[in-house]
A and B are shown apart, each in its own frame.
Chain A
């Protein structure tokens, strides 16, 4: 006889819109989502266990492999955590270099978010444009450290290299080009009727609930909570630099989109200021050859492109971390997904995965 029944469907782990190996068990009523159960761990490589086995300097390489779309941010937060444990001061020039690279990394990461998010929803052109500008940043990173994706470009206590000749001018040239390219993206999407229909009111979450879930980064700021680690607990040279923290109102996919777009502009502002103020001098602080921090522990956070990146290190006085814990913003943000898609259509799940901007390497570690 005819009747209706709830249906259970697996989305992923091999699904192009899940940005890697995320599996979602969807419970559907027709095309409406009744419940979602994210299943993760397909990319679990035991970065924390490896971080306890290798020395402090060696473990930086593993941080590259976690958030491979923003490897520099992961490098940075780990190196900073070890510096806090050691009580080492980083020379001002290295601090500014770090800020420049971290913000370029944020722009690159947001561009890959923009491209893939728009492509998932059906706007293919933006993907090609976003990749074009990202290429520029990858070239800058390549000429700085030789790698395009996994940089390993921070050392405990400073930076490995000076900027190569002509690098600063190239970076400036990129910053000059960027605003016109951003206008192009806005023309393609911001007032596009299809884009508005697919993002407005989709995946709405209010600020209080978002905080309750532990969400951070643009996902939290899109809901109107102005929490940015760069402002709240400044690190490196951020306290000397002038920038705004964009926040949204509605907490839906469209507001998060606008937030990230504005963040690209603010990051460009930071890069230009930091390049102007770039002081001279040493790029590496006084760090012993064998890094043996005194007994103790530190929980250090950075504002990564996807939210609050945290590293918790416990030292037992040896060359290896006794406990090495990575707090991944993606892991925490993904938790809220079932809440955000309940009652929506299956196609909206794709939009919400895009707006959470997850990188599975960082979720699973």
Chain B
């Protein structure tokens, strides 16, 4: 890894694009301030995009952070709007996946995004004890990326058939292909069986 970095020339600093800069401009967030006061050591990085803070959190601290954001009187992120996986292989290499949590405070009208990095085959603590609605989202992230969630009550595939043997939203999974290459739909003995058309 080090050799590669030494050989690549450092690119000249790019001129800042005003549109891009506006997109990345920090925005005030009460929830983030509260989180910083209470659990500042769990925050690894903060970025902004389109006015929403994106907070990178240590993997083992995610449940703690989620619970704080939900229960703290100042942040009140009662709604887990979305939880999904992202295959980061084309953007940064390792660790391979990000789990992204989009939280909304229905009465504070604020939004915040949490991110947790996880390597292939790694486990992320499940946030189902904090929001029940995380159940199916985590099942989907498992189904599509193979990210495992520790402590999930029922971690099964949700959209793909149970006998499917790959994780289709990974970047190395092809867009087109045959079902039988992935262990479902047709068993070998079915190939020779007469169908009703014959």
Confirm or deny: B160 has a beta carbon within 8 angstroms of a beta carbon on chain A.
yes
Confirm or deny: A27 has a beta carbon within 8 angstroms of a beta carbon on chain B.
no
Confirm or deny: A131 has a beta carbon within 8 angstroms of a beta carbon on chain B.
no
Confirm or deny: B10 has a beta carbon within 8 angstroms of a beta carbon on chain A.
no
Confirm or deny: A312 has a beta carbon within 8 angstroms of a beta carbon on chain B.
yes
Confirm or deny: A344 has a beta carbon within 8 angstroms of a beta carbon on chain B.
no
Q: How far is the CA of A301 from the CA of B50 in the complex (A)?
A: 13
B24/A211 in contact, CB under 8 A:
no
Q: How far is the CA of A233 from the CA of B17 in the complex (A)?
A: 27
| 1/0 contact string of A120-137 vs chain B (CB within 8 Å) | 000000000000000000
B102/A233 in contact, CB under 8 A:
no
B49/A296 in contact, CB under 8 A:
yes
A211/B106 in contact, CB under 8 A:
yes
Q: Which residues of B, 42-84, contact A by the 8 Å Cβ criterion?
A: 49-50, 52, 54, 78-82, 84
Find B80's partner among A214, A225, A227 (CB 8 Å cutoff). Answer: A214
Stretch at the interface among B33-41, B128-136, B188-196: B128-136
Contacts of B84 in A (CB 8 A): 312, 325, 327
Find A308's partner among B81, B113, B131, B160 (CB 8 Å cutoff). Answer: B81
Identity of the chain A residue whose Cβ is nearest the Cβ of B54 in the assembled complex: A297
Find B106's partner among A86, A225, A294, A297 (CB 8 Å cutoff). Answer: A225
Contacts of A323 in B (CB 8 A): 86-87
The answer to whether residues A214 and B159 also contact, given A299-B113, A332-B133 and a CB cut-off of 8 A, is: no
B80/A294 in contact, CB under 8 A:
no
B50/A41 in contact, CB under 8 A:
no
B81/A301 in contact, CB under 8 A:
yes
Confirm or deny: A8 has a beta carbon within 8 angstroms of a beta carbon on chain B.
no
A214/B79 in contact, CB under 8 A:
yes
The answer to whether residues A46 and B22 also contact, given A298-B50, A316-B90 and a CB cut-off of 8 A, is: no
Confirm or deny: A213 has a beta carbon within 8 angstroms of a beta carbon on chain B.
yes
B81/A310 in contact, CB under 8 A:
yes
Confirm or deny: B100 has a beta carbon within 8 angstroms of a beta carbon on chain A.
yes
Identity of the chain A residue whose Cβ is nearest the Cβ of B17 in the assembled complex: A294
Confirm or deny: B168 has a beta carbon within 8 angstroms of a beta carbon on chain A.
yes
A84/B50 in contact, CB under 8 A:
yes
| 1/0 contact string of A223-241 vs chain B (CB within 8 Å) | 0010100001100000000
A41/B136 in contact, CB under 8 A:
no
Q: How far is the CA of A41 from the CA of B184 in the complex (A)?
A: 14
A211/B159 in contact, CB under 8 A:
no
Q: Which residues of B, 163-177, contact A by the 8 Å Cβ criterion?
A: 168-169, 173, 175
B78/A211 in contact, CB under 8 A:
yes
Confirm or deny: A186 has a beta carbon within 8 angstroms of a beta carbon on chain B.
no
Confirm or deny: B23 has a beta carbon within 8 angstroms of a beta carbon on chain A.
yes
Find B49's partner among A232, A298, A310, A331 (CB 8 Å cutoff). Answer: A298
Total interface residues on A, CB under 8 Å, equals 44
Confirm or deny: B4 has a beta carbon within 8 angstroms of a beta carbon on chain A.
no
A299/B82 in contact, CB under 8 A:
yes
B133/A310 in contact, CB under 8 A:
no
Q: How far is the CA of A168 from the CA of B57 in the complex (A)?
A: 51
Confirm or deny: A206 has a beta carbon within 8 angstroms of a beta carbon on chain B.
no
| 1/0 contact string of B123-151 vs chain A (CB within 8 Å) | 00000000111111100000010000000
Confirm or deny: A111 has a beta carbon within 8 angstroms of a beta carbon on chain B.
no
Q: Which residues of A, 35-94, contact B by the 8 Å Cβ criterion?
A: 40-41, 44, 46, 48-50, 53, 84-87
Confirm or deny: A216 has a beta carbon within 8 angstroms of a beta carbon on chain B.
yes
Contacts of B153 in A (CB 8 A): none
| 1/0 contact string of B85-122 vs chain A (CB within 8 Å) | 01100110000000010101011010101000000000
Confirm or deny: A335 has a beta carbon within 8 angstroms of a beta carbon on chain B.
yes
A335/B133 in contact, CB under 8 A:
yes
Q: Which of A209, A225, A227 has the most CB of B within 10 A?
A: A227
B24/A312 in contact, CB under 8 A:
no
Contacts of A312 in B (CB 8 A): 82, 84, 100, 102
Q: How far is the CA of A48 from the CA of B57 in the complex (A)?
A: 26
Find A40's partner among B20, B23, B133, B159 (CB 8 Å cutoff). Answer: B159
B58 to nearest A CB, angstroms? 20
Find A322's partner among B23, B91, B104, B136 (CB 8 Å cutoff). Answer: B91
Identity of the chain B residue whose Cβ is nearest the Cβ of A87 in the assembled complex: B19
Q: Which of A298, A299, A300, A310 has the most CB of B within 10 A?
A: A299
Confirm or deny: B158 has a beta carbon within 8 angstroms of a beta carbon on chain A.
yes
Q: How far is the CA of A331 from the CA of B153 in the complex (A)?
A: 18
13 contacts between A and B (CB under 8 A): A40-B159, A50-B175, A87-B22, A212-B78, A214-B79, A214-B80, A232-B109, A296-B49, A298-B50, A300-B50, A312-B102, A325-B84, A332-B136
B residues apposed to A, CB below 8 Å? 17, 19-20, 22-24, 49-50, 52, 54, 78-82, 84, 86-87, 90-91, 100, 102, 104, 106-107, 109, 111, 113, 131-137, 144, 157-161, 168-169, 173, 175
A residues apposed to B, CB below 8 Å? 40-41, 44, 46, 48-50, 53, 84-87, 209, 211-216, 225, 227, 232-233, 294, 296-301, 308, 310, 312, 314, 316, 322-323, 325, 327, 331-332, 335, 364-365
Closest 4 CB pairs of A and B: A214-B133, A227-B106, A41-B159, A87-B19
